Structure 1
Amino acid sequence: MHENLFSPTQLGPYNLRNRIVLPPLTRSRSTQPGNVANELMATYYRQRSGAGFMVTEGTQIEPRGQGYAWTPGIHTPEQITGWRKVTEAVHAEGGIIFAQLWHVGRVSHTSLQPGGEAPVAPSAIAATSVKVFVETGPGTGMLADPSTPRALTTAEVKALVQLYAQAARNALDAGFDGVEIHCANGYLVNQFISAHTNTRTDEYGGSLQNRLRFLKEITEAVAGVVGRDRLGVRFAPLFSSTDEERVYLGLVEENPHETYTEAVKVLEEVGIAYLSLAEADWENAPELPDSFRSSVRSIFSGRILYAGRYTAERASSAIEAGWADLVAFGRPFIANPDLPERIANGWALNALDAASMYGGTDKGYIDYPTHQG
């Protein structure tokens, strides 16, 4: 079944065993204090290493990059050591794993920031219609409104570019096979790209090309560390505006087709290995227009990865149509550690326990059963 999901393909230097991807999925299970990846996380990723390749949950590149309690970082020696447990566990199973480099920008809270300072962003515009998760005690937390950010100076923006490069070095030290830069979902890079959140008057604001400058600089800087063939970028382009979409995915541009095709041109110039496009993933969510998919395919020569409400059938069709090379399965992979095997054999899927998605213990994390024949 769905043979094309299991046809061989190349991603940079890697021969992928299939085209099924574990996408970045925040699970908030890192060890505290210190936001350190741990043995529990190593087990979780090892269980899912049958994927063609995997991308970690969003991993903050610096202390100011955190917007939710208990998410892991990759900016301290302890965090690098913690992630090494994960990469070693995955490699022992023959798996391939990239680290997702994350900075939330304004989608944060003073209680999560160093010294209780305001979060940083392109412009001092508060995020609305979105919540952050803050710790209220050991293992307990609550949803809160993001704090109003302060605008980064031009010098601070340039320093952030170097923080991305350093995080990429840290990822290599931790044993990752490559990295993905999180440029989606209303977080920092998306905040620079969007006219709604970027009202800067320096070289990083104003025209679309200026708003894409931060994307270009961090992509080039990270490519200089890990190599272009071991680098991916994730976008979440939205083409319609509803309250639900704003809550889940962030920012809808006045002309999303132009904004994101120009962004893809930047990535093509850098020459990265893959582009990840995250679609809305709730019931009856709008799909990306075919005209946009076609434009992306004509502009970008690397691998294209789609994620959203994909079933095996939809994924297979996307590859057949020629606009996807790889397809990611989020919630199904949480509940089915052996998802590729289940798809290959047409086996039934475990149901997802939504209550245990964020934070907690091994329950709802590493205890989902594999198929019993």
Structure 2
Amino acid sequence: MSSSSRIEALLESVTIRGTKFPNRVIMSPMTRGASPNGVPSAEVAAYYARRAAGGVGAIFTESVFIEDKGTMGKFDLEGGDDKKTGWPVMFGEAPLEGWRRVVDEVHAAGGLIFPQLMHLGIQRSPAKGQSWSDIHISSPSGIWGTPEQIAALPEEKAAVMNCPGKAMTEDEIWAVIKAFGDAAANAKSVGFDGIALHGGHGYLIDNFMREETNQRTDDWGGDHVGRMRFAVEVVKAVRKAVGDDTLISFRFSQWTHHDVDAMLTKNSDELKGILDLLAEAGVDIFEASARDFRDPVYEGSDLNISGWTKKLIDKPVVMVGGTGVRRERHESALTPPQVVDNVDEIMERYAAGEFDFLAIGRALLNDPNWLQRASAGEPFLDFNPACLKMGYVE
């Protein structure tokens, strides 16, 4: 890539905890669901290797399930009628061998790769052939959100979520924490370069962090420190599992999938409290996820969530959200976006010190060579709606 590129500053290498990133562009996690029975296919390996060959500094994989009854089941793994789809997992001999192949091919293409480990939490819903009564839903308080959030759901889901569920027991909580640690150890054993934890968007870790979904009065709830305990213990378990030489990244968001206007933190003091606890537990990198990177987060300031994160914590920050594409704020993730050239505004924010790494998602799904085009100043490819189809790994 040309040293005179307009994204020259993002092409500089950086080393964190002994891991050298060749540049500051990260492929953002995007669910592909091309792993029947939880096993990443050869096509998945080739898909990630193509993005590595395209030059991104690191790949953060699609969400990968830990082993727990509340985050996956037989139907989730078997996928669709074509038997070519299914959600990947980070446990079991066959899935781990599948991931080893993915890691080896990405490394051969010159890339770094982190798995995004996650638990669905309250976001779990029935797969094909299931009803709500067939599945186990894990959550801190057995509630999906506020009455207003529930009222905005599709009628069938609202009817179920409006009924009080079962809060996780102490034993269930510790079992999930252990499962995160076990998954991280498995990931390290097959050669991953670091661990990414999904703590945003309304999944389980996020459920514990939010007052709307965490109404517990024990040590796992209460004020922001209590609500952060689960996330902190997950990070500690992962750090213990992978040791001091492995990077841990943590994604968080103000918004959730069911409420894009939600606010995890109401002000910068609350945000700093969360960041400090996570950093102390062992987080090296913060992925600050916004619906759109232009969105200011607190009244009276133009800073977005990554800018505030960078201001409040002395850790590398990833800017996430609409960086390579544009869609309306309330549109579904399955709505085809428009590929846009945001490079000049992105570089202005980088020069202002608002982030350290840039996350690119759908634009890279659409074009493995997006970074090369950005570097050369070439026009970006029009978005191909077919790449949003579940199982797409071209």
- Give yes or no for TM over 0.5: yes
Do residues 286 (structure 1) and 295 (structure 2) align? yes
Structure 2 partner of 1:178: 194
- Aligned partner of residue 188 in structure 2, secondary structure: helix
* 8 Å CA contact 1:278, 1:308 repeated in 2: yes
Flag the 1:314–1:76 CA change in 2: closer, same or farther, 3 A: farther
* 8 Å CA contact 1:271, 1:302 repeated in 2: no
* 8 Å CA contact 1:186, 1:249 repeated in 2: no
Do residues 342 (structure 1) and 373 (structure 2) align? yes
Superposed displacement of residue 353, structure 1: 2.1
Structure 2 partner of 1:136: none
- Aligned partner of residue 235 in structure 1, secondary structure: strand
Note the residue ranges of structure 1 that are not aligned, 5 or more in a row: 132-142, 239-244, 367-373
Q: Residues 52-201 of structure 1: matches in 2 within 5 Å?
A: 52-63=57-68, 64-66=70-72, 70-111=86-127, 116-126=134-144, 128=150, 129=152, 145=157, 148=161, 149-201=165-217
Distance (whole Å) between structure 2 residues aligned to residue 272 and residue 171 of structure 1: 17
Flag the 1:16–1:293 CA change in 2: closer, same or farther, 3 A: closer
Structure 1 partner of 2:248: 231
Note the residue ranges of structure 2 that are not aligned, 5 or more in a row: 1-5, 80-85, 324-341
Identical aligned residues as a percent: 26
Flag the 1:37–1:248 CA change in 2: closer, same or farther, 3 A: farther
Q: Tell me whether 94-103 or 259-268 shows the greater mean CA deviation.
A: 259-268
In angstroms, what is the RMSD of aligned CA positions? 2.7
Distance (whole Å) between structure 2 residues aligned to residue 92 and residue 339 of structure 1: 20
Superposed displacement of residue 275, structure 1: 0.5
Do residues 296 (structure 1) and 309 (structure 2) align? yes
Which residue of the other structure, out of 3, 7, 24, is the alignment partner of 1:2? Answer: 7
* 8 Å CA contact 1:123, 1:198 repeated in 2: yes
Which amino acid letter does the alignment assign opposite residue 54 of structure 1? Answer: I
Superposed displacement of residue 73, structure 1: 1.2
Distance (whole Å) between structure 2 residues aligned to residue 3 and residue 254 of structure 1: 34
Superposed displacement of residue 254, structure 1: 6.5
Distance (whole Å) between structure 1 residues aligned to residue 383 and residue 254 of structure 2: 26
Alignment length (residue pairs): 342
* 8 Å CA contact 2:295, 2:304 repeated in 1: no
Deviation readout 1:158-210 (Å, 9 max, x if unpaired):
12111110010111122211111100001101100100000112110111110
- Aligned partner of residue 151 in structure 1, secondary structure: coil
Superposed displacement of residue 274, structure 1: 0.6
Q: Residues 213-362 of structure 1: matches in 2 within 5 Å?
A: 213-227=229-243, 229-238=246-255, 247=258, 249=260, 251-253=262-264, 255=266, 257-281=268-292, 286-288=295-297, 289-290=302-303, 293=306, 295-310=308-323, 311-361=342-392
* 8 Å CA contact 2:201, 2:252 repeated in 1: yes
* 8 Å CA contact 1:130, 1:248 repeated in 2: no
Which amino acid letter does the alignment assign opposite residue 11 of structure 1? Answer: I
Deviation readout 1:289-326 (Å, 9 max, x if unpaired):
42865552243222111111222223322221112110
Which amino acid letter does the alignment assign opposite residue 317 of structure 2? Answer: I
Flag the 1:217–1:254 CA change in 2: closer, same or farther, 3 A: closer
* 8 Å CA contact 2:201, 2:257 repeated in 1: no
- Aligned partner of residue 277 in structure 1, secondary structure: strand
- Aligned partner of residue 163 in structure 1, secondary structure: helix
Flag the 1:57–1:20 CA change in 2: closer, same or farther, 3 A: same
* 8 Å CA contact 1:234, 1:276 repeated in 2: yes
Flag the 1:292–1:278 CA change in 2: closer, same or farther, 3 A: closer
What TM-score results when the alignment is normalised by the length of structure 1?
0.84
Distance (whole Å) between structure 2 residues aligned to residue 200 and residue 13 of structure 1: 39
What TM-score results when the alignment is normalised by the length of structure 2?
0.79
Superposed displacement of residue 6, structure 1: 0.8
Distance (whole Å) between structure 2 residues aligned to residue 183 and residue 290 of structure 1: 21
Distance (whole Å) between structure 2 residues aligned to residue 96 and residue 113 of structure 1: 39
- Aligned partner of residue 71 in structure 1, secondary structure: coil
Which amino acid letter does the alignment assign opposite residue 20 of structure 1? Answer: V
